[in-house]
Amino acid sequence: MRPSSWQSRIERAAELESEYPAAAEVLRFYQEIAKFQSESEPLSQKSGFLESRMPALIALVGRIGPPALVEAANRPGVESHEPAVAFFTRVLLQVQKGYAAAHSHISMGITRNTCPFCNERPVAAVLRPEGEGGKRGLVCSLCFTEWEFRRLLCPNCGEEDHRKLPVYTASEFPYIRIETCDSCRRYIKSVDLTINGRAIPEVDELAAIPLDLWAVEKDYTKLTPNIFGL
């Protein structure tokens, strides 16, 4: 499955912004970041890419980011400060690795819980239409490669007893499930494309912040935070 383009992610985020006001602020910021990522893509395979795009990214975030990032972006010598630097670097690495992954042949091989291209962990799960039910995949948090993964298997600890893998849904997001594991107390959001074929997992995941708040209240920890650390 080829990853979505930056343009389709931007368009999807704009749709979700009007549908889910609770996530509007995050989605508006995401659209600006994704536009920057889209514009950066043609340069992404050149040497010195990160260094060359970093000042423009920091300037952009300094104008439109959330308060903590604005403060970091406007501080002299921000390059050496965490965690803002981790965010800036990841924005650019998503472009670089995402482009490389989309233009590589990736051997999917055996079931694995990290990305077969870049070895990062999944930011969301996805269910795609297949036969009677759905085929489960995981989506990389860095390069957005999607790979197949067994339905009843915890992507963190490998638990496969269905009684320890409860799934929760909320009426507000009929196509997004919270897949939890009671053995390791991790969870991942799963975007069900059999119910909503317009969804883009890594974008729709951002809109469903209320589900994260619910999961954290129930003492689950997200398997991998998204680009915004949520």
Residues found near Zn ion in the complex (CB under 5 A): 115, 117-118, 120, 140, 142-143, 145, 154, 156-157, 159, 181, 183-184
Closest CB 148 distance from Zn ion, rounded Å: 14
Residue (181 or 199) nearer to Zn ion, CB: 181
Nearer Cβ to Zn ion (73/124): 124
- Minimum CB separation from Zn ion for residue 211, in Å? 18
As a whole number of angstroms, the distance between CA 11 and CA 7 comes to: 6
**Residue 78 or residue 189: which is nearer to Zn ion going by CB?**
189
What is the smallest separation between the CB atom of 198 and Zn ion, expressed in angstroms? Answer: 23
Rounded to the nearest 10 degrees, the angle between the axes of helix 84-102 and helix 49-64 is 130
How far is CA 144 from each of CA 47, 74, 130, 147, rounded to the nearest angstrom?
22, 30, 21, 10
Q: State the nearest-atom distance from the C-beta of 226 to Zn ion, in Å.
A: 14
**Judged by CB, which is closer to Zn ion: 118, or 176?**
118
DSSP structure class, residue 118: T
Q: Are 188 and 223 in contact (CB under 8 A)?
A: yes
Neighbours of 135 (CB within 10 A): 16
Cα(first)–Cα(last) distance of the chain, in Å? 25
